[in-house]
């Protein structure tokens, strides 16, 4: 055991390698929204620092309770602030996804984005979003339950676990968001500015063949499902009552 303590003594190369591995592992788990494994790994890290690296964390807390309390309060305050910022980013992300799917629906219907939907079109829009349109990669919704919330504003009540998770692990959540979001936004910005160029390339390659194409190309048909069939089972069973 003594050799292990010596190997991972504070400041040694192996100490920083071990702490870096813990940090990267925690970052990955937070990015994947895994609260259980994240908590377990954090406890293992604290135990590693306390009993293997001989960093007196518990002793320092006992000797300096006031400063320890200040650190805890500061951590909670920063966690609350970050969770508010993260929630705003989360709502904005869902709004962008909603607009992407809606834009595709408008294109399919030959509508202008400024036009308002009639009652009949609203039904078609719901079928499109919950059905085939919502299953496209562009929507970013992986299952029926996620697609059910496509046409709804994010509700805090439905994301209590997410918000608590962002508060608890705000340093890793902050780092991952600052690393991941700008890259995603950069590629989205690039796509928006080059898609017309790509379309012109496609039009040039297909030039002369447009007249041979049918007006409405046949598309493989799938078994049609009603809107209710596309919703999660527990939601389908809810009786909708009209006031």
The token pair that represents 218 in the structure block: 């046949």
Nearest to 42 by CA among 170, 176, 179: 170
Q: What is the pLDDT of residues 133-143, one digit of tens each?
A: 555 544 444 44
- Mean predicted confidence (pLDDT) in 19-42: 88
Q: What is the pLDDT of residues 60-109, one digit of tens each?
A: 888 999 999 999 999 999 999 999 999 998 888 888 878 888 888 888 88
Nearest to 134 by CA among 174, 105, 156: 105
């Amino acid at each position: 055991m003594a050799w292990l303590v010596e190997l991972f003594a504070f400041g040694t190369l192996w100490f920083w390698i071990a702490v870096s591995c813990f940090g990267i592992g925690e970052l990955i788990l937070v990015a994947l929204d895994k609260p259980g494994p994240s908590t377990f790994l954090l406890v293992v890290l604290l135990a590693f620092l306390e009993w293997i690296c001989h960093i007196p964390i518990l002793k320092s807390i006992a000797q300096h309770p006031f400063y320890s309390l200040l650190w805890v309060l500061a951590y909670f305050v920063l966690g609350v602030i970050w969770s508010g910022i993260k929630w705003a980013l989360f709502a904005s992300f869902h709004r962008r996804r909603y607009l992407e799917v809606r834009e595709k629906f408008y294109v399919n219907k030959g509508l202008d984005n400024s036009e308002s939907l009639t009652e009949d079109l609203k039904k078609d829009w719901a079928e499109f979003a919950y059905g085939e349109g919502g299953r496209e990669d562009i929507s970013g919704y992986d299952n029926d339950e996620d697609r059910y919330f496509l046409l709804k504003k994010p509700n805090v009540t439905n994301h209590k676990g997410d918000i608590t998770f962002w508060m608890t692990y705000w340093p890793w959540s902050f780092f991952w968001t600052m690393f991941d979001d700008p890259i995603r936004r950069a590629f989205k910005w690039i796509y928006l500015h080059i898609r017309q160029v790509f379309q012109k390339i496609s039009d040039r390659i297909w030039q002369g063949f447009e007249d041979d194409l049918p007006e409405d190309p046949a598309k493989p048909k799938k078994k049609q499902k009603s809107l209710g069939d596309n919703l999660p089972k527990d939601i389908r069973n809810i009786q909708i009552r009209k006031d």
